[in-house]
Amino acid sequence: MRRPSGTVLLERALSKLGIASRQDTRAWILAGRLGVNGQLASDPFMPVVPETARFELDGKPLARSRWQTLLLHKPRGCVTTRQDEHGRPTVFDLLPPSDLYLHAVGRLDLATSGLLLLTNDSRLSAWLTDPKNAVPRVYVVTVRGEVSEENIWQMETGIMDQGEQLVAGSITLRKKSQRESHLTVTLHEGKNREVRRMFSACGHEVTSLKRVALGGLTLGDLAAGAWRELTAAELRATFPGVPLSET
């Protein structure tokens, strides 16, 4: 069954508000300690609207955490989940200890580096990842072999992969040889492994992939593994009309 618009599962809601992890939320529900809108919660999969729901722990209101959004230069070899079952380093290992439950806005896979936003604002992350807002994502890409103009045309007009159409907003060929090609790719949707899949469908393996911009935000001179805090004013100036939950 499809969830009502604007809702998320209860087990995710407190994490998105920066109040508690999913694990904590599930434990509180099982122990009969978590109240939602005046009722004890019993189902971690209950749909709720995080921004308007009233949460209580042991009958006392749960305070929302300080609003925070970070721009991180994700290094290659890190995953974007909070914990990894294979013991690989995560982007959260790069941050100082904190009681704020940040989540990544979209994901970059293990072998991809570059710009990644981390926030405890679910309205911000939902707006940035909503395809209708077409927030551009810019990547610098290196692939094996010589990419042809026909390949670029295919990817810019739409290429089918695994029953899904993948379309690049624009592609600029910066340098090419028989050995490899260097390109800049702009996307307007965040489909899973989209850049790698497009080039693979054209017969080219991606050997290096880095996201350098998200809308008007860029990495600048931020070193790999480093991060900086973004202000609400900066985000509003960069993304006019973006809804924020900060107070």
Query: Which residues of the chain does CATH 3.10.290.10 include?
Result: 8-61
Dihedral of CA atoms 136, 141, 147, 149 in degrees, nearest 10, equals 20
Query: Which residues of the chain does CATH 3.30.2350.10 include?
Result: 136-214
Q: Quickly list DSSP for 83-152.
A: S-TT---BGGGGSPP-S---EESS---TT-EEEEEEES-HHHHHHHH-GGG---EEEEEEEES---HHHH
The per-residue pLDDT for 211 is 97
pLDDT tens digits, residue range 134-183? 999 999 999 999 999 999 999 999 999 988 999 999 999 999 999 999 99
Cβ(245)–Cβ(67) below 8 Å? yes
What's domain 136-214's architecture?
A: 2-Layer Sandwich (3.30)
The per-residue pLDDT for 64 is 73
- Topology of domain 8-61, CATH: 3.10.290
Q: Which pair of tokens denotes residue 179?
A: 């050995």
Say if strands 55-57 and 34-36 run parallel, antiparallel, or are unpaired: antiparallel
Tell me the chain's radius of gyration from C-alpha atoms: 20
Q: Which pair of tokens denotes residue 59?
A: 């009958």
Query: Which residues of the chain does CATH 3.30.70.580 include?
Result: 69-131+221-238
52: CB partners within 8 A, 6+ apart: none
Averaged pLDDT, 3-18: 77
Q: Which active-site residues does the annotation give?
A: 109
Q: Which of 26-35, 77-86, 102-111, 128-137 has the lowest mean pLDDT?
A: 77-86
H helices, E strands: number in the chain? 6, 17
Cβ(209)–Cβ(139) below 8 Å? yes
Task: Report the predicted TM-score, pTM, of the whole model to 2 decimal places.
Answer: 0.80
Cβ(100)–Cβ(133) below 8 Å? no
Percent of the chain with pLDDT over 70: 96
- Topology of domain 69-131+221-238, CATH: Alpha-Beta Plaits (3.30.70)
